[in-house]
Amino acid sequence: MSERTAHPHSEEDSTPSLHFIEQVVVDDLASGKHKQIHTRFPPEPNGYLHIGHAKAICLSFGLAESHNGLVNLRFDDTNPEKESQEYVDAIRRDVSWLGYTWNGGEFYTSDHFDSLYAFATRLIENGKAYVDHQDAATMAEQKGSPTSPGTNSPHRDRSVEHNLQLFQEMKAGDHPDGHCVLRAKIDMGHPNMHMRDPIIYRIKRSHHQRTGDDWCIYPMYDFAHGQCDSLEGITHSLCTLEFEVHRPLYEWFIENLNIFPSRQIEFARLNLDHTIMSKRKLLRLVEEGHVDGWDDPRMPTISGLRRRGFTPQSIRTFCDRVGIAKRENVIDFSLLEWALREHLNRTAHRAMAVLDPIKLVIVNYPEGQSEELPSENNPEDPSAGHRMMPFGRNLWMERDDFKEEANKKWFRLAPGKTVRLKSAFIVRYVDHIKRADGRVEEVHVEYFPDSKSGSDNSGIKAKGTLHWVNASTAIDAEVRLYDRLFSDAAPDGHEGQDFTEFLNPNSLTVRSNCKLEPSLQQAQAGTPYQFTRLGYFSMDEEHSAQAGHPVWNRSVTLKDGWKG
């Protein structure tokens, strides 16, 4: 069962208390069981990493980091058909970007194929594995059910010599794909179904991205994973809860092969609402063209979040806040956004941009005149300094900052209203011009020369402050606004309905006629800015190059507009 977790809005005082896995680590170091801990992150290179993986990464790398340990990056490449170098490269890039280094080394399960083969042979020699020639359906039937024991295969009692010979033949390619398998000989009556003589090797002729055609037999996950942990000297092998039922098998192999006793510990996987988190389903979004690639800014992938403008620190803060639990739950997507706002509010420079521009004319400001007004780069960080904003008679303002009719609660522009232009002057409504179809095109105001921000002695009160951009120096840009990719909180939780049915048709809004202040000419792709009153944005290198003009992504709005 899952439960919803609301997210914290404040920095409550939290004395760091150890989560249950860290407690094990601390105890193992204190007792001398291990002098140094050694963890690993074992992705299968069959897709890009997502925010769920980030949680696993932060846990394994984070523990090693804070306890002077080692951590390996291990590509679990036992399924050649679905894996590729593109994914390996993307995984490396994403882990590095999160700020981690695999100081214990980079490994591939395929590095260990010889050792794994030797382990399998050892099991056969000890009478603990056998070659089975039955088809998959028959073996499944013999497995029994959780409430009834299975039955032994007729091949279970083959001699060691015969099994050794058959296994060598499997390796040599003497048998067609699927013709036979190697099984561990454990107990067909075991209450744990995974212990009922699990398959440990299968024949599969497919080209492997690293070992080519050297092998036509491949180890199964359960046989590869734990043994690689041992071979690499992993002390704490941390994985998600679905592997809990595999743990007895993990330990059976260690015991029966008499190898380094890595310890598997499980934790709850990260689930986020309005999101899907399986690589297989994310691949479908890409292949079916619902998104613009694995790194589409709406994707819950690390590369998508990076492109959207998330910072490594915000993702690490998020993982930290989610915590390590033993019970599955669903986290609000808005916690992720909170973590980004929290980081960027402290660090991002401010700038002004108008996304839906209409003209704002200062009728008493002389034509042809201009001046430069200082504006602070970050009110949270005085050391960030200020920049000069060009100001003149013709400006751009936001369309929805003007109303033809407004009541007392409207603090923006309207007939009769007075507002401050951010870092500039107080202005008062004079007039506005509409097109034939009724659309407002221009708003005319007069300004008060002695109301300049920082040296205001006009005595005039303005309740609202509007952002603006000087027309003659504005940069034309496109801005992409993103919303949840799915409109349903649990898109893959509806029986009989495909998750793609719940895609949010409004997840992307393109504003093609935006005006940015000229200082953003110097902006680097990926550097976050707060656009005053609008949210956090960063320039998208790839989209800008494709479009031939600057394209900016909105990373997150200033406030949580999605309570739901």
Catalytic residue list? 44, 269, 279
Q: Quick one: what does residue 239 bind among Mg ion, ligand ATP, none, with the CB cut-off 5 to 8 Å set by partner type?
A: ligand ATP
Which stretch in 47-55, 169-177, 225-233, 513-521 sits in contact with ligand ATP by CB under 6 A? 47-55
Q: Is 44 in the site for ligand ATP (CB under 6 A)?
A: yes
Q: Is 557 in the site for ligand ATP (CB under 6 A)?
A: no
- Which of residues 55, 316, 387, 417 is near ligand ATP by CB under 6 A? 55
Residue 425 to residue 428: CA distance in whole angstroms = 10
CA 438 to mean position of chain CA atoms: 45
> Please, what is the minimum distance in Å from the beta carbon of residue 277 to ligand ATP?
5
Nearer to Mg ion (CB atom), residue 44 or residue 111: 44
- Which of residues 24, 37, 38, 52 is near ligand ATP by CB under 6 A? 52
- Which of residues 160, 277, 283, 489 is near ligand ATP by CB under 6 A? 277
Pick left, alpha or beta for residue 289 (phi over 0 → left; psi -120 to 50 → alpha; otherwise beta): left
Q: Quick one: what does residue 535 bind among Mg ion, ligand ATP, none, with the CB cut-off 5 to 8 Å set by partner type?
A: none
Residue 196 to residue 175: CA distance in whole angstroms = 24
Q: Is 56 in the site for ligand ATP (CB under 6 A)?
A: yes
Q: Which amino acid is at 519?
A: S
Nearer to ligand ATP (CB atom), residue 47 or residue 550: 47
Nearer to Mg ion (CB atom), residue 44 or residue 273: 44
**Nearest 10 degrees: Cα torsion 541, 383, 316, 107:** 70
Burial of 63 per CB tally in 10 Å (0-12, 13-18, 19+): buried
Which stretch in 22-30, 48-56, 122-130, 155-163 sits in contact with ligand ATP by CB under 6 A? 48-56
In the region spanning residues 419 to 478, those forming contacts with Mg ion, defined by CB under 5 A, are none
Q: Is 42 in the site for ligand ATP (CB under 6 A)?
A: yes
Nearer to Mg ion (CB atom), residue 44 or residue 483: 44
Tokens of 404: 């033809």
> Please, what is the minimum distance in Å from the beta carbon of residue 139 to ligand ATP?
24
> Please, what is the minimum distance in Å from the beta carbon of residue 524 to ligand ATP?
31
- x-or-dash string of contact with Mg ion, 41-60, rule CB under 5 A: ---x----------------
What's the farthest any 2 CA atoms get from each other in the chain? Answer: 101
CB-CB contact of 203 with 177 (8 Å)? yes
CB-CB contact of 272 with 2 (8 Å)? no
Which stretch in 42-50, 126-134, 157-165, 359-367 sits in contact with ligand ATP by CB under 6 A? 42-50
Tokens of 393: 């008679």
Nearer to ligand ATP (CB atom), residue 53 or residue 298: 53
Q: Is 269 in the site for ligand ATP (CB under 6 A)?
A: yes
3-state secondary structure 134-165: CCHHHHHHHCCECCECCCCCCCCCCCHHHHHH
Which stretch in 198-206, 276-284, 365-373, 479-487 sits in contact with ligand ATP by CB under 6 A? 276-284
In the region spanning residues 225 to 244, those forming contacts with ligand ATP, defined by CB under 6 A, are 239-240
Q: Quick one: what does residue 278 bind among ligand ATP, Mg ion, none, with the CB cut-off 5 to 8 Å set by partner type?
A: ligand ATP
> DSSP letters along 366-429, please?
PTT-EEEEEEES-TT-GGG-EEEEEEESEEEEEGGGB-SS--TT--SB-TT-EEEETTS-EEEE
Tokens of 308: 């959207």
- Which of residues 129, 270, 305, 474 is near ligand ATP by CB under 6 A? 270
Q: Using CB under 5 A, count the residues that bind Mg ion.
A: 1
Residue 428 to residue 245: CA distance in whole angstroms = 70
Residue 188 to residue 195: CA distance in whole angstroms = 7
Nearest residue to ligand ATP, by Cβ distance, number only = 52
- Which of residues 278, 512, 513, 546 is near ligand ATP by CB under 6 A? 278
Place of tokens 């960063």: 538
Q: Is 263 in the site for ligand ATP (CB under 6 A)?
A: no
Residue 101 to residue 58: CA distance in whole angstroms = 11
CB contact set of 237 (below 8 Å; sequence gap of 6+)? 39, 40, 226, 229, 262, 263, 264, 265
Classify 357 as helix, strand or coil: strand
Nearer to ligand ATP (CB atom), residue 257 or residue 270: 270
- x-or-dash string of contact with ligand ATP, 180-219, rule CB under 6 A: ----------------------------------------
Which stretch in 51-59, 397-405, 428-436, 449-457 sits in contact with ligand ATP by CB under 6 A? 51-59
- Which of residues 225, 279, 480, 515 is near ligand ATP by CB under 6 A? 279
> 18-41 burial, b for 16+ CB within 10 Å, e for fewer?
ebebbebbeebbeeeebeebbbbb
Q: Is 285 in the site for ligand ATP (CB under 6 A)?
A: no
In the region spanning residues 74 to 133, those forming contacts with ligand ATP, defined by CB under 6 A, are none
Residue 261 to residue 226: CA distance in whole angstroms = 9
Interface residues toward ligand ATP, by CB under 6 A: 42-44, 52-53, 55-56, 239-240, 269-270, 277-279
Interface residues toward Mg ion, by CB under 5 A: 44
